[in-house]
Amino acid sequence: MSIEVETLMVMVDFTIDEADVPRFLALMADRRRIRIRDGAGQWTLLRDMENPDIWTESYHVPTWVEYIRHHERRTEEDIENFKQLRALHRGPEPIRVHRMIERHSLAELRTTPGRRRDTGRP
């Protein structure tokens, strides 16, 4: 992937038992502070209305390079925070991370990473 200037939106999905929600929220308050310290913006924590065990952390990072730097800034405290969050996760799959390039307008297919140009052939 080439380095783009578009904003990167990151979403992290957790499955949390109801009994663990108070501890999860406390850890996520620390997580918010960590993310903002490292340059993330528009941090939010979302709860799925259809499946209330699903929680999604969402935040924006200005560039891919900033996202990489964000991971290089981890402290021992940051690592411990994530270990505790991972221990609370109860999903059948590991914690899922979505890394999305934010587009502010519709562009031709050829500008979308991973898409081939339209050749005009059926």
pLDDT one-digit tens code per residue, 88-102: 999 889 999 999 886
Residue 57 belongs to a domain: yes
Residue 118 belongs to a domain: no
Residue 1 belongs to a domain: no
Residue 117 belongs to a domain: no
Tell me the one-letter amino acid at 28: M
What pTM was estimated for this model as a whole? Answer: 0.76
Q: What is the CATH number of the domain that holds 105?
A: 3.30.70.100
15 class by beta-carbon count within 10 Å (0-12 exposed, 13-18 middle, 19+ buried): middle
Percentage above 90 pLDDT, the chain: 51
DSSP-assigned states of every residue in 39-83: T-EEEEEEE-SS-TTEEEEEEEES-HHHHHHHHHT--HHHHHHHH
Q: What is the residue range of 93's domain?
A: 8-111
- pLDDT of 5 over the 50 cut: yes
Residue 119 belongs to a domain: no
